[in-house]
Structure 1
Amino acid sequence: MKKRMIMSLALLTLAGLLTGCTELSSMSSAITHSVQISRGQTKREKLISELPKGVTATDADLIVVNKWHKHNELTFSKSTLDNQTIRTSALKPLTAFLKGAKVAGYPATLVSGYRSVADQETVWNQFRLMKMRVKVRSRR
C-alpha cells in the first residue's frame, strides 16, 4: 500500500514536471475543485476554467487532443529516452525524475512516449478489439 501511494505521488510529480506545474497542491485542488457553471458559459470556457493554477489554454506544451479536437502529426523537437520518443524539453526533468526515483528505491519505467497518429490508431483499434472479445466471452 505504501509503495503504491509513493508511486502515485511520483507519477503526480512527473505529471507536474512535464506540464510545467510547480505545486502538487495546485494540481490536487484543481482536481477536487468544483466549478459552478453559469447558463452562458460554454463547454470550452468551463474546461479552461478547470485548468490547474498557472496553466493557460494557450501554453505551448498544452495541446488538447480528443474526439472534438483532432490533430495531424505534432511537430516538436523530439528526443529518445529508454527507446521512447519524448519532447526534448521534457528530457532533462524526466531524466532527473527517473534518477531520483531509482535513488529513492522506486525505479520507474518509461512505458510510453509520443505516439504518431498511426501508432495511436493501432493502439485504439487493438483496445476496441480486446473489449469486443471480452463482451463476447462474458455473454457465453
Structure 2
Amino acid sequence: MIAAFILIVGFVGILIFFLSTLGHGKPSESTNQVAKNSGKSSQSQSKSTTKSEKSSDKKDASLPNSKTTDWDMVLVNREHPKDEMNPELTQIGNIQVDSRIAKSAEAFLAAAQAINPAEHFISGYRSVAYQTSLYNQYVEQEMAADPSLDRSAAEAKVQTYSQPAGMSEHQTGLAIDLSDVDSLNESTTAKQVAEIAPNYGFVLRFTADGTPSTGVGYEDWHFRYVGVENAKYMTAHHLTLEQYLKLLK
C-alpha cells in the first residue's frame, strides 16, 4: 500500500510540473501586445525626430524673398573688389547717390533731421579715382601723426575706417555718410538715427558687433541702402551684409 501511495504521489508531481511548463512555452498575448506597443512607440519617436530635423532645416519663413544678385545686394569690400561701376547718379544737396535710392535717401535725411536738425550728408558716391586720392590722403595723415608707422602699418590702420580704391562701397552709389558732425567722430544722435534707418531701406553698415565679418571698425555715420524688407530683417537679426548674403544663398 505504501509503495502504491508513493507511486501515485510521484505521478501527480510529474503531471503538475509538466502542466506548469506549458504556460511558459511562448509569450502570452499581453506580453506580445506590450512588445508591439513598444515597437510602435519607437517608430513614432523616430518619425517625430525626423520631422523635427527636417523642420529645423527649413528656411526661415520671415526671410525676405531676395537674391544675392539683386542690384541692392551688391557686395563691395576687400574680398570682393569692383572696377568702376558707373551708376546713374542723382544730386541730393552736396552729394550724389544712385538714382534708384534718391527718394529714399531724401526721406531718410528728413527723418534724421527731425531727430536732430544738425544731421546732414557728408559723403555719397565716390569714383574709384577719388577713392584712390582719399585713401592715400588718410595713409599719409596716419604716417605723419605717428612716424613709427611704415606705409603697410598705416594702411592697416586706415582700413579700419576707409577702404582702398575698388574696395569701397561708396563707388556703388548705395552708401551714404550721415551725421550731425563733419569729422569721423561719434555722433550724439547716431543711435536714434540708426534705429529709423531700416524704415527707409538703410542699415548701419559697420556695427561694433559686425567687425569680425566686415573687417571694419564701428562707424556710426556710414549707412548702406539694401531695401526696406532686407534692412528690417538684417537689423532685427543683427546681421552684416556679408552674413545676410550667406543666408540668402
* TM-score normalised by the chain length of structure 2: 0.31
**2:145 alignment partner in structure 1:** 134
Structure 1, unpaired ranges of 5+: 1-52
Superposed, which structure 2 residues align to 1:66-81 within 5 Å? 66-81=77-92
Match of 1:88 among 95, 99, 105: 99
Structure 2 Cα separation of the partners of residues 110 and 92 of structure 1: 14
**1:98 alignment partner in structure 2:** 109
Paired residues of 2:91 and 2:97 also in contact (CA < 8 A) = yes
For the pair 1:108 / 2:119, whether they are aligned, the reply is yes
Cα deviation code 1:78-130 (max 9, x no counterpart): 10111211011111111112122223444421001010000011111011111
Q: Number of residues paired by the alignment?
A: 86
AA aligned to 2:78 is K
Paired residues of 2:95 and 2:121 also in contact (CA < 8 A) = yes
Structure 2 Cα separation of the partners of residues 107 and 92 of structure 1: 20
Q: Secondary structure at the match of 1:110?
A: strand
Q: Secondary structure at the match of 1:80?
A: strand
- Which structure features the higher share of strand residues? 2
**1:118 alignment partner in structure 2:** 129
**2:76 alignment partner in structure 1:** 65
Superposed, which structure 2 residues align to 1:11-30 within 5 Å? none
Q: 1:75 Cα shift?
A: 2.8
Which structure has the bigger radius of gyration? 2
Q: Give me the identity figure in percent.
A: 28
Paired residues of 1:98 and 1:107 also in contact (CA < 8 A) = no
Q: Secondary structure at the match of 2:72?
A: coil
Structure 2 Cα separation of the partners of residues 108 and 75 of structure 1: 28
Cα 1:62/1:136, change in 2 over 3 Å: same
Paired residues of 1:78 and 1:86 also in contact (CA < 8 A) = yes
Structure 2, unpaired ranges of 5+: 1-62, 150-249
Q: What is the aligned-residue RMSD (CA, Å)?
A: 2.2
* TM-score normalised by the chain length of structure 1: 0.53
